[in-house]
Structure 1
Amino acid sequence: MSAVVALRRTRQPAPQPARLALLGTGGVGSAFVARYARLRANGTALPEVAWICNARTQVAGTDDLSAALTQARAAPRRHGGFPPWAEGESPRPGDIVVDATASETVADWHPEWLARGIHVVTANKLGTGGDLGRAQAIADAARQAGSRYGDSATVGAGLPLLRSLRALGEGGDRIHSIEGVLSGSLAWLFGQFDGSRPFSALLREAQASGYTEPDPRIDLSGEDVRRKLLILSRAAGFAVSGHEVVVESLMPAGPAAADAADVDVGWETLDALLAARHAAAVAAGRRLCFVGRFDADAGSQVGLRALPAGHPLCAGRGTDNRVVIHSDRYRDRPLVIQGPGAGTEVTAAALLDDVLSIAHR
């Protein structure tokens, strides 16, 4: 047998081009489709969208992704059975799953996809901000299979928070504390809350503007900030469990116990309480901020704090996230990272940044 024939027989098939699978057709998924279309129209090379999926259906990608999105959103609700992404066409190794949901079920699939060599790009905080075992399974699967996990949209909507923390650790630095205004919605709310308008009115405005989670109780309960703080502390190399984070909730009893459809009726019970806390903060020359703090020695806390006006976390505006990192390198003067941290547009942009990073690797 000639060397040429042997070479032909052992030659591996050419790798197939990566495809995208978008899971989630809500605000972030819709913004992702719109931004994807704009980038493609401007000549940016992006993988083809193979399908768009939600909890109701899976729709094949077409040249008209807007129509596919509309079709998926109009599908009837399912009752029982496997989710559509488990029953329909499956991604293959090298494909990129984009998780634009807030689904625990979808987050459970992250380690499975990664272990099969499928990359995952996500805005879903439940992957690495939920159960510690799942977060560790995600890291293990990505490392063993060589797949990529793009999670920059989970905290700070693409701000260089996670990669900065990971780079510090890889460079031998030791993180002492991470403290931040991590909720764009709560940053906006307490930035606007000056006593002239009821807090409940501002909350409804933030919800209408798309700043809050679809269920604003996740913001007010501190759960959104808790998840983000877990993601940051775990990225810094600390295996923090969710129960280790002490959370001060702002949730009134009525909305906390209400069905999702009735949750809007009880926000007024917050008005007097927060007006009193605002007045006390102003009298002391302080400003209210909803803060998540991880300390390697003192533990983790989430809650409303009255901070001195000169505190680094008080300098943000609008929906800005602002994070202060103390480490061996940044012991006396901390590293401060700030930028927009809420909204479907910036979150979709962060997702596509991670897609491009993986596709052009």
Structure 2
Amino acid sequence: MSKVTRIRTPAAGTRGGRIALLGTGVVGSAVVARYRQLAERGVALPPFAWLSNSRVQVANEGSLESAIATAHAAPRRTGTVPPWAEGEALARGDIVIDATASDTVAGWHPEWLARGIHVVTANKLGAGGDLTRAQAIVDAQREGGRYGDSATVGAGLPLLRLLRELVAGGDRIHAVEGMLSGSLGWLLSRFDDTRPFSDLVREARDAGYTEPDPRVDLSGEDVRRKLLILARASGAMLEARDVRVSSLVPDALRDAAPDEVDARLAALDAPLRERFLTAYRSDARLCFVARFDAGRGASVALRALPLSNPLVSGHGTENRAAIFSDRYREQPLVVQGPGAGAEVTAAALLDDVLRIARAAPHA
């Protein structure tokens, strides 16, 4: 078993089980900062037991800021077992915050839930990955673990909660259509043909709006996972293959080695300019839209939407989604708000932590 670094300080909060944070990157660091802010305001929070990244597990016996600094400074590991799997164990009633994008971590979600450990996640590879895993997450919650996934779509917008409440109330969801990528929303809202699209991609990447490799965002795969989460919450148990994805990445850029990506971003420019001019001449706007229709299929693609469409008025990294149901048949229910950023994601994660702790403080 690897050694766990321990730092002395008082634990924070007194409510429910303990918190364990997986992931100390941009989102994980924002979770620590948000936790500190809430604690200073007197919000009753579960105590923070430990945090972990792929290199080390650090117990909270000092300030959280010191703990996360220690995690960041830890050397790379050569073993195959992650530190959180062989370090201090989790117990029933504890709350795992998954601030990673790790398929390995997502694979543990059903296991933790079945053991009565709550999971709060921004990782879409749980509910938005393989359908077998998504169903296992639903089934495992019968064992007592609760699942907080509001940060997986819309960075905490009440979209998932609304869908589930509508379904629970007997409403039937006919379709959900939305702009679910803050990074692509930012890019397309600024693209007006005065600059090459590739310049905007570089700006978005350097500002942290896209992944370091922007092909992750431009491929539409992240949006596919978000749409799967929404569809499954609506009662449509889709497989990943049921969602047709039209990537923005041309072949020359798709096949580039990581160190060639920047030089090949110009391959985006001519196709996107042509799409923009066609939309402009039709009084339309380019939007990267995800949509599923109950019984008809699902798709993720760049579309030219008329200016009257409720999805068009979004700006920057906003997410917007329209829900069509028995109740909202003629005029959809529209949800909009900030859909990207570490701070709003961290706030959504800790909102779920508080909901779980207040619902079952002695779980």
Q: Please, what TM-score do these two structures have when normalized by structure 1? A: 0.93
Match of 2:228 among 227, 230, 238: 230
Structure 1 SS opposite 2:236: coil
Structure 2 SS opposite 1:287: strand
Structure 2 SS opposite 1:312: coil
Aligned to 1:266: 264
- How far off its partner does 1:262 sit? 4.2
Aligned to 1:9: none
- How many Å separate the matches in 2 of 1:85 and 1:259? 32
- How far off its partner does 1:37 sit? 1.0
RMSD of aligned alpha carbons? 1.4
Would you say the 8 A contact 1:95–1:119 is kept in 2? yes
- How many Å separate the matches in 1 of 2:184 and 2:236? 26
Aligned to 2:35: 36
Structure 2 SS opposite 1:326: strand
- How far off its partner does 1:63 sit? 3.7
Aligned to 1:26: 25
- How many Å separate the matches in 2 of 1:22 and 1:210? 22
Q: How does 1:1-361 map to 2 (within 5 A)?
A: 17-142=16-141, 144-361=142-359
- How far off its partner does 1:214 sit? 4.3
Q: For 1:152-189, what per-residue CA distance to the aligned partner results, in whole angstroms no more than 9, with x for missing partners?
A: 00000000111100001000010100000000110111
- How many Å separate the matches in 2 of 1:261 and 1:115? 42
Q: Please, what TM-score do these two structures have when normalized by structure 2? A: 0.93
CA 1:351/1:260 → structure 2, altered by over 3 Å: closer, same or farther? farther
Aligned to 1:10: none
- How far off its partner does 1:17 sit? 4.3
- How many Å separate the matches in 2 of 1:238 and 1:183? 21
- How many Å separate the matches in 2 of 1:48 and 1:263? 43
- How far off its partner does 1:261 sit? 4.6
State the identity %. 64
Would you say the 8 A contact 2:150–2:160 is kept in 1? yes
Structure 2 SS opposite 1:332: coil
- How many Å separate the matches in 2 of 1:53 and 1:297? 42
Q: For 1:197-252, what per-residue CA distance to the aligned partner results, in whole angstroms no more than 9, with x for missing partners?
A: 11111112212222223432221000011000000000111110000100000113
Q: Which residues of structure 2 form unaligned runs of 5+?
A: 1-13
Read off the aligned partner of 1:116 and give its amino acid letter.
R
Would you say the 8 A contact 2:15–2:45 is kept in 1? no
CA 1:255/1:52 → structure 2, altered by over 3 Å: closer, same or farther? farther
- How many Å separate the matches in 2 of 1:286 and 1:114? 46
Larger radius of gyration: 1
Q: Which residues of structure 1 form unaligned runs of 5+?
A: 1-14
Would you say the 8 A contact 1:129–1:228 is kept in 2? yes
- How many Å separate the matches in 1 of 2:214 and 2:354? 31
Would you say the 8 A contact 2:15–2:47 is kept in 1? no
CA 1:269/1:16 → structure 2, altered by over 3 Å: closer, same or farther? closer
Would you say the 8 A contact 1:210–1:344 is kept in 2? no
Structure 1 residue runs of 4 or more that deviate by more than 2 Å after TM superposition: 213-216, 252-265
- How many Å separate the matches in 2 of 1:264 and 1:48? 44
Q: In the comparison of the two structures, how many residue pairs are matched? A: 346
Would you say the 8 A contact 2:15–2:44 is kept in 1? no
